[in-house]
Amino acid sequence: MRTLSAEERRRSAEWIAGRQGADGSLPWFPGRKLDPWDHIQAAMSLALSGHRAAAHEAFRFLARTQDELGGWPSAFTAAAVFDPCRETNHAAYVASGLWYLHLVRPETAFLAEMWPCMERAIDFVVRLQDPQSGVVMWAADLNGVPHDSPLLTGSSSVHGSLVCAERIADHLGHQRPHWSEARRRLATAIRADHSHFRKQGTARFSMDWYYPVLGGAVRGDAALRRFQECRELFIGEGMGCRCVEERPWYTVAETCELVMAMEICGLTRQARGLFEWTHTLREADGGYWTGMTYPDLLRWPPERPTWTAATVLLAADVLDGVATPTSRFFRSLDAEA
């Protein structure tokens, strides 16, 4: 079972880099909207692939566009805002991206340059943690008022980002014990599968299945049990990962995220089998279609976002099995290890 050849990786990385705006932005498609999380995912893949200057400019774009609360609109361009809510997993992911870049090639000066931006982002996230349950609210409005909607996937992503934020703070010599406490309380809430998550009715999404593992909060036997319990709901024979339980729509990005989560659990053979399916949605220029419906085999939506190709590159790196810091990045998000 193959991952990607060096030439395929190069083509995909250049395809992503060719869609970066002159301002450093990495939109879904040239001239269209971006969201901070997917923008960062694309920047991580560029750093992994040797486009370090482009990745730096992507983070500098975030520093220039960050608002006074510490977040970013959920969907925007440099000229317009399409969705003004500020999502916590978007803001937190800055820390994940910066630590990933540092693992690709250590550069303390760039971490120090981006520290004010990251600190504001993480403080924004921690302010939206519920003091009772430990869950992190999904988003806040323009005035910083939280939406009472903690999501399991979002909180799990935030957990991994808090681990990275702690490591950056430690590397730079900053003491942020309240970040560590926030991360520990969030991990407890995720592991308990808190009822406040369940009331949101999001269990139908595959990301709620694997993100607690990918984000580092759930590991070991508990992680293996999650995969055993839900495998038949979201994986079809010879296909990838279904995005939503009741819809026969299999997507490349979710498949690659699941691949990385399964590799963490030692399910490498199954992960490689899933990754094989993504080749069916690759184009010669290195881009990937979002997903495919079954049994009609329609590419839907008819779009090739930058973040989809980026997630493929990250997953291929993980599956290569080389003991490099980036290939072990997601495995290392278990802060208790």
The pLDDT tens digits for 243-292 are: 888 788 999 999 999 999 999 999 999 999 999 999 999 999 999 999 99
pLDDT at 2: 76
Instruction: Tell me what the pLDDT averaged over the chain comes to.
Output: 93
Q: What is the pTM of this model?
A: 0.96
Looking at residue 97, what DSSP letter applies?
A: H
Residue among 152, 96, 127 nearest 333 (CA): 96
* CA separation for the pair 59, 52 (Å, rounded): 11
pLDDT at 71 exceeding the cut of 70: yes
What's the confidence (pLDDT) of residue 96?
98
Residues 32-42, mean pLDDT to the nearest whole number: 97
Q: What percent of the chain has pLDDT over 70?
A: 96
User: What are the structural domains, with CATH classification, of the chain?
Assistant: 6-333 (1.50.10.10)
CB–CB of 157/215 below 8 Å?
yes
**Please, which pLDDT band fits residue 200 given cuts at 50, 70 and 90?**
low
The percent of residues above 90 in pLDDT, for the chain, comes to 83
Burial code of 65-79, b = ≥16 C-beta within 10 A, e = fewer?
bbeebbbbbbbbbee
Reported confidence tier of residue 99, pLDDT bands at 50, 70, 90: very high
Residue 98: pLDDT over 70: yes
Query: Taking 80 as the threshold, does the pLDDT of residue 335 lie above it?
Result: no
CA distances from 201 to 95, 155, 196, 225, 234 (A): 28, 15, 10, 21, 17
Instruction: Among 65-79, 238-252, 298-312, name the one with the lowest average pLDDT.
Output: 238-252
